[in-house]
Structure 1
Amino acid sequence: MTDELYARLKTYEGRAAATSGVGKDRVNEPMIRHWCEAMGDGNPAYAGPDAVAPPTMLQVWTMGGLSGHTGRAAAQDELFELLDGAGYTSVVATDCEQEYLRPLRPGDRVTYDAVIESVSERKTTKLGTGYFITTRMDVRAGGEPAGTHRFRILKYTPRARKPKGSRPRPVVNRDNAGFWEGVAEHRLLIQRCGGCGTLRFPWLPGCGRCGSPDWDTVEASGSGSVFSYVVMHHPPFPAFDPPFAVGLIELAEGVRIVSNVVGIPPDRVRVGMPVELEFSRIDGEFELPVFRGVQGGVG
Structure 2
Amino acid sequence: MTTAPSDTPHGPHDPGGPHDGPESAQARFHALLRTFEGRPAATAGRAKDPVNAPMIRHWCEAMGDTNPAYTGPDAIAPPTMLQAWTMGGLSGHTDRSSAYEELFGLLDGAGCTSVVATDCEQEYLRPLRPGDEVTFDAVIESVSPRKTTKLGTGHFVTTRMDVHANGEPAGTHRFRILKYAPAARPRPASPPPAPAPAPAARPRPVINRDNQGFWDGVREHRLLIQRCTACRTLRLPWLPGCNACSSPDWDTVEASGSGTVYSYVVMHHPPFPAFDPPYAVALVELAEGVRIITNITGVPYDKVRIGLPVRLEFLRVDDTLELPVFRGGTG
Instruction: Name the TM tier (shorter chain).
Output: 0.5 to 0.7
Residue identity matched to 2:140:
I
Decide whether the 8 Å contact of 1:130 with 1:157 is kept in 2: yes
Out of 95, 99, 102, the residue aligned to residue 75 of structure 1 is 99
Q: Which residue of 1 aligns with 2:53?
A: 29
| CA distances 1:227-286 after superposition (whole Å, capped 9, x unpaired) | xxxxxxxxxxxxxxxxxxxxxxxxxxxxxxxxxxxxxxxxxxxxxxxxxxxxxxxxxxxx
Asked if residue 199 in structure 1 is aligned to residue 228 in structure 2, the reply is: no
Note closer, same or farther for the CA distance 1:206–1:58 as it changes in structure 2 (3 Å cut): farther
Contact 1:27–1:106, Cα closer than 8 Å, also in 2 = yes
User: Is the contact made by 2:262 and 2:283 (CA closer than 8 Å) also made in structure 1?
Assistant: no
Cα pair distance change 1:68/1:175, threshold 3 Å:
closer
Structure 2 matches for 1:95-244, cutoff 5 A?
95-161=119-185, 163=187, 172-173=201-202, 195-196=261-262, 198-199=264-265, 201=267, 207-208=282-283, 210=285, 211-212=291-292, 213=294, 215-216=296-297
Alpha-carbon deviation of 1:173? 2.3
CA distance in 2, matches of 1:171, 1:147: 42
The CA RMSD measured in Å over matched residues stands at 3.2
TM-score, normalisation: structure 2 = 0.56
What whole-Å deviation, never above 9, does each CA across 1:58-81 have from its counterpart, x for those lacking one?
000000001111320010000001
How big is each residue's C-alpha offset from its partner over 1:25-66, in whole Å with a ceiling of 9 and x where there is no partner?
110111111111111111110111111000000000000001
- Alpha-carbon distance between aligned partners in 2 of 1:169 and 1:198, rounded to the nearest angstrom: 31
Question: Aligned-pair distance for 1:169?
Answer: 9.0
Unaligned runs of 5+ in 1: 177-192, 221-299
After superposition, the Cα gap between the structure-2 partners of 1:155 and 1:175, relative to the gap in structure 1 and judged at 3 Å, is closer
Note closer, same or farther for the CA distance 1:24–1:5 as it changes in structure 2 (3 Å cut). Answer: same
Deviation of the 1:196 alpha carbon: 3.6
Counterpart of 2:311 in structure 1 is none
C-alpha displacement at 1:99, in angstroms? 0.4
CA contact (8 A) 2:146 2:153 kept: yes
Deviations 1:198-246 (A, max 9, x none): 12557799844643445127579xxxxxxxxxxxxxxxxxxxxxxxxxx
Name the SS for the 1:108 alignment partner: coil
Partner SS, residue 67 of structure 1: coil
Q: Match of 2:126, SS?
A: coil
Give yes or no for contact 1:195–1:214 (8 Å, CA) kept in 2: no
Report the identity percentage.
Answer: 63
Cα distance change of structure 1 residues 148 and 195 upon mapping to structure 2, 3 Å threshold: same
Structure 1 counterpart of 2:68, from 25, 41, 44: 44
For 1:215, give the aligned amino acid: I
Is 1:53 matched with 2:134? no
Determine whether 1:64 maps to 2:64. no
Aligned pair count reads: 204
Cα pair 2:157 2:178 within 8 Å, conserved = yes
* SS of the residue 1:198 aligns to: strand
Q: Describe the SS at the equivalent of 2:45.
A: strand
SS for the counterpart of 1:65 is coil
Q: Which runs of 5+ in 2 are unaligned?
A: 1-24, 206-258, 286-290, 303-331
Cα gap change, 1:173/1:58 in structure 2, threshold over 3 Å: closer, same or farther? same
Partners of 2:200 and 2:138 in 1: how far apart? 37
**Corresponding residue number in structure 1 for 2:219:** none
Q: Relative to structure 1, is the Cα distance of residues 66 and 197 closer, same or farther in structure 2, using a 3 angstrom cutoff? A: closer
Give 1:111's aligned amino acid: T
Q: Which residue type is aligned with residue 84 of structure 1? A: D
Q: Alpha carbons of 1:174 and 1:137: their partners in 2 closer, same or farther (altered >3 Å)?
A: closer
